[in-house]
């Protein structure tokens, strides 16, 4: 899809988690109203609903018995910056070829939430840039699984049928990117800009080496994720990458984030942090459609 919605909602202290959940549970109705299936074959809206850990344990106190692992996110920091923990209660990820329909979906969700239930929210709209490149010029998601079954294996937990998500908002230093020679940027990433070929002599601090766990040629990633990131922003304001990835287990993310900030034996820092800084971060649990329906229904049955 050409466009994405990344909607983070923080509840107010007086909000009822179950009333809030019931309202969010109407998202399918909003989608059908904005984009009826018989009319929107090309502009269909695909979506997922994720929950922050504190919110999820309120609506599903027995989550441990259902084999959902605690998905607490903690802040990390290193010599080139930090990966902050900014929290959140509900996260909506939606995709569509029509930007306007995603804006309508945000309106429908926010305007129909219980009165005074929202402390704050942030809606960010991503878009495809140069056939799938990051604003730095590099192709994004080169190592994503291509086969649908393989993607499901990487992203969906076998026991729960749900998926864990990592969401971070990165702001790029566009002036630095513009003034830095391509060969330097390629060393930072560990790939060529034009064709995304892996460098044979990449540095241990290159982004590729940090993420796969080695600078050696031909090494396969130790942990895999399914990226759904997109660029966002404006030239007059801030611009960068809204990073979103799915995985079957939280350890996949922990491995990568630790290696970004040098929370490892080698203490090396990811060179990505030379030209971009992270301003938000949180883990989310995206239940299956069946589990989401059950959670909403259980909330309605409670006295």
Catalytic annotation, residues? 140
Helical segments of the chain, H only: 17-24, 27-34, 53-59, 99-111, 148-155, 174-179, 182-189, 207-212, 250-261, 289-301
The angle that helices 17-24 and 289-301 make with each other, rounded to 10 degrees, is 130
User: Is 268 strand, coil or helix?
Assistant: coil
Between the two ends of the chain, the Cα-to-Cα distance in Å is 41
Cβ burial, residue 249 (10 Å; 0-12/13-18/19+): middle
DSSP string, 24-66: HTTHHHHHHHHS-TTT-SSS--EEEEEE-HHHHHHH-TTGGGG
CB 121 within 8 A of CB 8: yes
DSSP string, 82-100: EE-----SEEEEEEES-HH
């Amino acid at each position: 899809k050409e466009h994405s919605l990344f909607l983070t909602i923080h509840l107010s202290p007086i909000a009822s988690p179950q009333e809030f959940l019931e309202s969010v549970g109407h998202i399918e109705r909003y989608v059908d109203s904005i984009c009826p299936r018989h009319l929107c074959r090309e502009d269909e809206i695909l979506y997922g609903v994720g929950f922050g850990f504190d919110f999820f344990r309120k609506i599903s106190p027995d989550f441990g018995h259902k084999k959902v692992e605690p998905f607490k996110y903690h802040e990390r920091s290193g010599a080139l910056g930090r990966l902050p923990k900014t929290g959140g209660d509900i996260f909506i990820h939606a995709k569509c070829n029509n930007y306007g329909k995603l804006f309508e979906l945000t309106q429908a969700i926010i305007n129909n939430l219980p009165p005074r239930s929202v402390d704050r929210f942030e809606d960010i709209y991503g878009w495809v840039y140069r056939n799938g490149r990051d604003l730095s010029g590099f192709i994004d998601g080169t190592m994503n699984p291509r086969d649908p079954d393989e993607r499901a294996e990487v992203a969906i937990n076998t026991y729960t049928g749900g998926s864990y998500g990592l969401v971070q908002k990165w702001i790029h230093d566009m002036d630095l990117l513009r003034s830095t020679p391509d060969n330097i940027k390629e060393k930072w990433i560990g790939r060529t800009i034009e064709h995304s070929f892996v460098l044979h002599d990449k540095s241990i601090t290159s982004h590729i080496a940090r993420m796969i766990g080695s600078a050696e040629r031909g090494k396969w990633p130790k942990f895999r994720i399914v990226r759904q990131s997109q660029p966002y922003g404006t030239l007059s304001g801030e611009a960068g990458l809204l990073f979103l990835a799915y995985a079957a287990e939280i350890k996949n993310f922990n491995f990568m984030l630790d290696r970004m900030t040098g929370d490892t034996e080698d203490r090396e820092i990811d060179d990505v942090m030379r030209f971009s800084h992270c301003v938000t971060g949180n883990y989310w649990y995206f239940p299956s459609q069946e589990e989401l329906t059950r959670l909403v229904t259980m909330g309605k049955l409670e006295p």
